[in-house]
């Protein structure tokens, strides 16, 4: 009797994999049994068997028009997962990985009242490094982390947080007027990342990218901060794609789906 090929067995999708694929299909919108069967490449009866089991467990539900939708159990699980996941937990592994790749100081920060608050940190491998600590605060208008968040706030909320200008001048490079900061924030939105060009500390420059929660709102930012004598500007800017990718990975952990990025990825396998 011929032995089964282990590689073929691994390639053949099982019931669990098919059920997960059904959930992914229904996340994109309602579908009939036939549509799901064609998408999965299985017979209609196979789809029906899986759907009946999932319907009994309330993961899907069948509407009056015969199409299937995600059920209440699926929504409850998603809500519970998002509620139980804080940004620091979601980011920890990704921050460590970024720190290992670049060897520089990595920060995760959010806004609290009117300040940027450092939520987590990965220390630089270099003896010459930025001094910071978890829980410390910094002015949002003078930091890349702050600007990465401010750029995506409603202007009225931004004005409330910052108060009336002129804002505190930390260095000769700090933007203290509304016109100068607004111009910088528009640039931040357009390019997808923010720069602290020695605006908070005389010898430290920094790049940061926004982190989004499941609703798409910017809730935090990830940055790499480096002393001038360790990296020149061009070398710092070379880290921007990795910082953006790290912030996107944290956002996905929090439940955010970047449909534009996903569509581009799917179009270029």
Residues 176-214 have pLDDT tens digits of 999 999 999 999 999 999 999 999 999 999 999 999 998
Using CA atoms of 225, 227, 232, 237 in order, give the dihedral in degrees to the nearest 10: 0
Topology agreement, domain 6-75 and domain 87-264 = no
pLDDT tens string 27-79:
878 988 888 888 888 888 888 888 999 899 888 999 889 899 988 888 777 65
What pLDDT score was predicted for residue 37?
84
From start to end of 3-86, where are the E strands?
Answer: 60-62, 68-70
Contact 139, 170 (CB under 8 A): yes
Lowest mean pLDDT among 14-18, 150-154, 157-161, 243-247: 14-18
pLDDT category of residue 169 using cuts at 50, 70 and 90: very high
pLDDT tens string 84-126:
458 999 999 999 999 999 999 999 999 988 899 999 999 999 8
Tell me the C-alpha distance between 256 and 70, whole Å: 18
CA angle centred on 57, ends 19 and 77, rounded to 5°: 80
Average of pLDDT values for 148-156? 95
Q: Specify the CATH architecture of the domain 87-264.
A: 2-Layer Sandwich (3.30)
* Fold of the 6-75 domain: Arc Repressor Mutant, subunit A (1.10.10)
Backbone angles phi, psi at 135, to 5 degrees: 95, -15
What pLDDT score was predicted for residue 104?
96
Q: Where are the domains of the chain?
A: 6-75, 87-264
């Amino acid at each position: 009797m011929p032995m089964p090929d282990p590689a073929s067995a691994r390639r053949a999708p099982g019931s669990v994999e098919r059920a997960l694929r059904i959930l992914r299909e229904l996340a994109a919108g309602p579908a009939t049994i036939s549509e799901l069967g064609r998408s999965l490449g299985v017979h209609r009866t196979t789809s029906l068997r899986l759907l009946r089991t999932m319907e009994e467990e309330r993961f899907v539900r069948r509407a009056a028009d015969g199409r299937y939708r995600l059920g209440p159990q699926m929504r409850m699980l998603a809500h519970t997962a998002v509620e139980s996941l804080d940004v620091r937990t979601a980011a920890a592994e990704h921050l460590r990985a970024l720190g290992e790749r670049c060897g520089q100081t990595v920060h995760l920060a959010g806004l609290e009242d009117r300040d940027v608050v450092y939520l987590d940190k990965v220390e630089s491998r270099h003896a010459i490094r930025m001094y910071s600590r978890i829980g410390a605060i910094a002015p949002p208008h003078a930091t890349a982390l702050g600007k990465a968040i401010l750029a995506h706030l409603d202007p009225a909320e931004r004005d409330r947080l910052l108060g009336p200008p002129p804002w505190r001048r930390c260095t000769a490079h700090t933007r203290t007027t509304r016109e100068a900061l607004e111009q910088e924030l528009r640039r931040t939105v357009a390019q997808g990342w923010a720069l602290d060009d020695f605006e908070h500390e005389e010898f430290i420059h920094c790049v940061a990218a926004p982190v989004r929660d499941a609703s798409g709102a910017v809730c935090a930012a990830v940055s790499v901060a480096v002393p001038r004598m360790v990296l020149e500007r061009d070398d710092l800017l070379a880290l921007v794609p990795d910082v953006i990718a790290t912030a996107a990975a944290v956002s996905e952990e929090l439940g955010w789906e970047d449909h534009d990025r996903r569509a581009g990825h799917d179009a270029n396998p």
